[in-house]
Amino acid sequence: MPKSPHVPGDAQADWRRAYDTTGPADDRVENRSGIEIKPLYTPDDWDSERYADDLGFPGQAPWTRGIYPSMHRGRPWSQRQLIGLATPEEYNARMRKIVASGATALSVIPCNSVYRGYDMDEVDPVLLGTCGTTINTVDDMDTCLKGVPIDATSIALNDPSPFTLLAFLLAVARRRGISWDQVTGTSNQSDFISHFVANHMFFRLALDGARRVFVDHVAFANDRVPRWNPVSVVGQHMQQAGATPAEAMAFTLSTAVQFADDCIERGLEPDGFLPRFTFFFDISISFFEEIAKFRAGRRIWARIAKERLGAKDERSYRFKFHAQTSGLDLTRQQPLNNIARVSAQAIAGIMGGLQSMHTDAYDEVLSTPTEEAAKIAVQTQNILRDEAHLADVIDPLAGSYYVETLTNQMEERILEVMATVEDAGGMFEAVRKGIVQQMIGESATAFQEKVDDGTQTVVGVNNFADDSEIPVRALERPPADVMQRHIDNLKKFKAERPQAEVAKALDELARAAADEKLNIFEKIVDAVEAGATNGEVCGKLRDELGFGHPLIAA
Amino acid sequence: MNDTQPLDESRAADGAANLGRPARVMVTKIGLDGHDRGSRLVAGFLRDAGMEVIYTAPWQKIETVVRQALEEDVDAIGVSSLATDHLLVPQLMTALGEAGLEDVIVVVGGIVPDADVAELKAVGVAEVFHPGSSRDDIVGTMTALIAARRAAA
């Protein structure tokens, strides 16, 4: 018998009989988070009586429907495409075009050597500049941002701990006479926990040291660079590494709680730092599951900020997030199919209420994206916004029996995973013990098995495959002479700087690392202003705080 | 179930049974990148298929890989690369040759632009596994390669 008075019992019984006679025999369907998906949802599953409790209004508790009253209708999501270009000169040329065309936000993606904390003269030259810009010094950052009004441009730095790129940016601002309270943007890769677990390339310092530098950097930014967002909690790495959407959301929220607890422990006020927290997620092609993931996450975070962290300012409750369409769902086979996949992922992100989005180029699984493919990725967003009119209505799937039921079920599943982390002593302990890594590994294996046995179709790979040729792509590499000139510049920079000052600043950095009363990040800014390089700062801190080894149990 | 690509039973996972003594495979990453979902998954597949897997952290130096290959007496080395680290593989091949390990099988898995595959094969890489390779593909190919190496020894 139906629970809801709105469901006519006879009709429901008739439908069930007809479905059982004609529907598929083996009927169990599960989403990636392991939640069973029924063939039909009705007011028996969710009904508008729950409207006030579950939904409310955009910009109000319980925050399910969005963090701002006007959401995309008032301010469409921003498009933040990542661009990797080999040298600061090339990066600058591209950026000036983008700024000239009216962009007010840009991203800096450094080369893998920079991510690892090495200068150009410390790594095999064959690896330089193939994925991002080689920024080793304050001069390099100055070149990247030549002609860019840094007091009027939001700058997203892919800048893992110890945040040398932000130090370079602040040094450039000072050079140009721009006050630090005019500098805006985000430390996109501040989440060292996600790096320890799932993106080891960014993991430079040992766990305890990274933890301290993180809080120093938040404290410094809150105090001295008040419009900077020092925290981006990254669920993307975890989901890319294999976490289910519910696990990825749970681990991200548990990480955010850990960061907030650490900041409070340092004596920072929740309403001071929480409005500067941002989040970064993966959007897989599991369409409704992703939408429900974002809606549930938004609701949980607001509750945590208020009830657990004691924040009173509503800006602290806002779950601001950037999301990127998942490269894992893309295939080499029949690569143009990826355009359809990215569209579906992007729609899910938009319906989930994101603030900023990167859509993948269809060919990124073949090589570094071509300009044409990168353009299609951007135009996909424009088509969805302006032709499909996806920004016109706020949270348009609200009230769907399925979406609301699934949002509640995802919330439950996310809270279960968060409880596991809590039982382990919080996120920091859970990752130190390898509990999170093990869960992610198991989920990765389980998903691969579903692909291998065909339970999960991948079009063109395990089903609907053909023998069409996969396009041959070459890796784009910077011309050797361009790269060599850049390496020569670094040598010249190192030869001409005031050596005694650099040595003294690096000693000061070591002293701060040994003395918890000092702020390490402040000393990093001093060091790069004196002329220390990314490699030297990271090297010194590795000596003092330990090299960032991930857990390697496979 | 899908029926367009039936599993090839002859290549199914049973590394140990086909080879007598278990195959020994090092799964590693060289260079700068640290994405290790692929290498962990593959290490798991190979181990489940009865092979002995020597799994390393990312960022191994080439000389370390060569030394470990020697000490661990491996049949094969699998190098996982997501972000251009495959460009170092030719140097690895040279170093293995200099250490007298030219008969160790080297395979590469991950994002390798097709134009670079020929170059890797030319320096002696036995196979390049792209994204979308299945477990049975990888285990089957490794088993066959290792069986051939042992038959030749």
**Which residue type, as a one-letter code, is found at position A389?**
H
Amino acid in the structure at residue B97: G
Task: Dump pLDDT digits (tens) for A508-519.
Answer: 999 999 999 999
E strand or H helix that includes residue B53: strand B52-55
Q: Which of A116, A465, A470 sits opposite B4 (nearest CB)?
A: A465
C-alpha distances out from residue A261 to A299, A310, A368, A416, B1, Å? 19, 11, 39, 20, 48
- Written as six digits, the tokens of A487 are 């390496």
| Residue B62 · residue B30 · CB < 8 Å | yes
Instruction: Tell me if A462 and B111 make a contact (CB, 8 A cut-off).
Output: no
pLDDT of residue A82: 64
Q: What is the CATH number of domain B21-152?
A: 3.40.50.280
Pairing of the two strands B105-110 and B127-129: parallel
Kindly report which listed range (A65-79, A405-419, A501-515) carries the lowest average pLDDT score.
Answer: A65-79
Confidence of residue B7 (pLDDT cuts 50, 70, 90): very low
Does the structure show a pLDDT above 90 at A467? Answer: no
pLDDT at B83: 77
* Positions of CATH 3.20.20.240 in chain A: 25-73+230-433
Contact A120, A536 (CB under 8 A): no
pLDDT at A475: 66
Instruction: Tell me which of A474 and A436 has the higher pLDDT.
Output: A436
- Tell me what pLDDT residue B35 has: 81
In chain A, the residue whose alpha carbon lies closest to the alpha carbon of B6 is A462
In this model, does residue A107 exceed pLDDT 90?
no
* A 7-26 → B contacts, CB under 8 A: none
A475 contacts on B by Cβ (under 8 Å): 84, 87, 113, 115-116
Which distant-in-sequence residues (6+ apart) come within 8 Å of B89 by Cβ? B30, B79, B81, B106, B108, B120, B123, B125
A79 in contact with B, Cβ within 8 Å: no
Structure tokens at A231: 């925290």
Closest alpha carbon to A167 in A537, A487, A539, A545: A537
Q: Is B150 on the interface with A (CB under 8 A)?
A: no
Does residue A514 sit at the B interface (CB-CB below 8 Å)? no
User: Is the per-residue pLDDT at B1 higher than 50?
Assistant: no
Q: Does B9 score more than 70 pLDDT?
A: no
Contact at CB, B37 and A241, closer than 8 angstroms: yes
**Burial readout A319-331 (b: 16 or more C-beta within 10 A, e: otherwise):** bbbbbbbbbbbbb
Determine whether the interchain pair A474/B115 forms a contact, defined as Cβ–Cβ distance below 8 Å.
Answer: yes
**Is A554 an interface residue toward B (CB < 8 Å)?**
yes
**Tokens 């059982």 identify what position?**
A20
pLDDT at A405: 98
Gap between the Cα atoms of A166 and A155, Å rounded? 10
Pairing of strands A29-30, A154-157: unpaired
Q: What would the two tokens of residue A510 be? A: 């070591």
Q: In chain B, positions 59-98, which contact chain A (CB-CB < 8 Å)?
A: 59, 83-85, 87-88, 91
Q: Nearest CA to CA, how far is A507 from chain B (Å)?
A: 27
What are the tens digits of pLDDT across the range A415-428? 999 999 999 999 99
pLDDT tens readout for residues A177-186: 999 999 999 9
**What is the rounded distance in angstroms from the CA atom of residue A28 to the CA atom of residue A122?**
54
From A242, A461, A474, residue closest to B37, measured CB to CB: A242
Does residue A388 have a pLDDT over 70? yes
> What confidence tens digit (pLDDT) does each residue in A331-355 have?
999 999 999 999 999 999 999 999 9
Q: Does the distance separating the beta carbons of B88 and A475 come in below 8 Å?
A: no
* Domain parsing of chain B, residue ranges: 21-152
Residue contact B27–A112, C-beta within 8 A: no
Q: Is B33 on the interface with A (CB under 8 A)?
A: yes
- A vs B: CB pairs below 8 A: 120
Which stretch of A464-473, A542-551, B56-65 has the lowest confidence by average pLDDT? A464-473
Task: Give the type of residue at B143.
Answer: T
- The answer to whether A448 faces chain B, any CB pair under 8 Å, is yes
**pLDDT confidence of residue A553:** 61
Q: Which helix (H) or strand (E) holds A325?
A: strand A321-325
The whole-angstrom distance between B50's CA and the closest CA on chain A is 15
Residue B1 in contact with partner chain A when CB distance is under 8 A:
yes
- Are the beta carbons of A187 and A215 closer than 8 angstroms? no
Would you state the structure tokens that stand for residue B89, as one six-digit string?
């593989």
- Gap between the Cα atoms of A165 and A184, Å rounded: 14
One-letter amino acid of B65: V
Other CB atoms within a 10 A radius of the CB of residue A132 amount to 23
Chain A neighbors of B88, CB-CB under 8 A: 124, 126-127
Backbone angles phi, psi at A388, to 5 degrees: -85, -10
What is the nearest CA distance from B96 to chain A, expressed in angstroms?
18
CB contact under 8 A, A112 and B33: yes
Residue A297's pLDDT band (boundaries 50, 70, 90)? very high
User: Contacts from A448-455 at CB under 8 Å and sequence distance 24+?
Assistant: A448/B41, A448/B135, A449/B135, A451/B134, A452/B134, A452/B135, A452/B136, A453/B1, A454/B1, A454/B2
With contacts defined as CB-CB under 8 Å, which chain B residues touch A554?
A: 27, 39-40, 43-44, 53, 55
**Mean of the per-residue pLDDT values of chain B:** 86
Distance from CA of B1 to the nearest CA of A (A): 5
Check residue B2 and give its pLDDT: 34
Supply the pLDDT for residue A222: 96
CA-nearest of A550, A502, A553 to A524 is A502
Q: What is the pTM of this model?
A: 0.90
ipTM value for the complex = 0.74
B122 in reach of chain A (CB within 8 A): no
Residue with tokens 């030219």: B102
Of A200, A449, A463, the CB nearest to B36: A200
Indicate the average pLDDT of chain A. Answer: 93
Predicted local distance difference test score (pLDDT) of residue B12? 40
B36 touches chain A (CB under 8 A): yes
Determine the 3-state secondary structure of B108 from DSSP. Answer: strand
- Tell me, letter by letter, the H, E, C secondary structure of B64-92: HHHHHHHHHCCCEEEEEECCCHHHHHHHH
Contact B55, B94 (CB under 8 A): no
Residue B8 confidence (pLDDT) above 70: no
Interface test with B, best of A116, A201, A472 (most B CBs within 10 A): A201
B15 or A143, higher pLDDT:
A143
pLDDT (tens digit per residue) in A210-248? 999 999 999 999 999 999 999 999 999 999 999 999 999
Q: Is the pLDDT of residue B11 over 70?
A: no
DSSP per position, A384-441: IIIIS-TTSSSSTTTT-HHHHHHHHHHHHHHHHHHHHHHHTTSHHHHHHTTHHHHHHH
Confidence of residue A3 (pLDDT cuts 50, 70, 90): confident
For residue A105, is pLDDT > 80? Answer: no
**Three-state DSSP class for residue B48:** helix
Query: Is the pLDDT confidence value at A16 over 80?
Result: yes
Q: What is the mean pLDDT of residues A9-20?
A: 92
Is 80 exceeded by the pLDDT of residue A130? no
What chain A residue is nearest to B62 in terms of C-alpha separation?
A124
Written as six digits, the tokens of B44 are: 């798991």
**B57 φ/ψ angles, rounded to the nearest 5 degrees:** -65, 165
pLDDT of amino acid A163: 97
Helices (H), A266-400: 270-273, 287-303, 337-351, 371-382
For residue A367, the chain B residue with the least C-alpha distance is B113
Structure tokens at A498: 């005031």
Please name the fold of domain A25-73+230-433: TIM Barrel (3.20.20)
**What pLDDT was estimated at residue B3?**
34
Q: Which residue of B has its CA nearest to A437?
A: B37
Q: What is the full DSSP assignment across A83-133?
A: ---SSHHHHHHHHHHHHHTT--EEEE-B-HHHHTT--GGGS-GGGTTSSSB
Chain B residues within 8 A of A441 when measuring between CB atoms: 40, 44
Q: What is the pLDDT confidence band of residue A281, given thresholds at 50, 70 and 90?
A: very high
Considering only CB atoms, B4 lies closest to which of A240, A452, A464, namely A464
Beta bridge partners of B77: B26, B106
Which residue, among B40, B54, B116, B128, would best test binding to A if mutated, counting the most A CBs under 10 Å from its CB? B40
**Residue of chain A with shortest Cα separation from B115:** A474
Query: Is residue A296 scored above 90 in pLDDT?
Result: yes
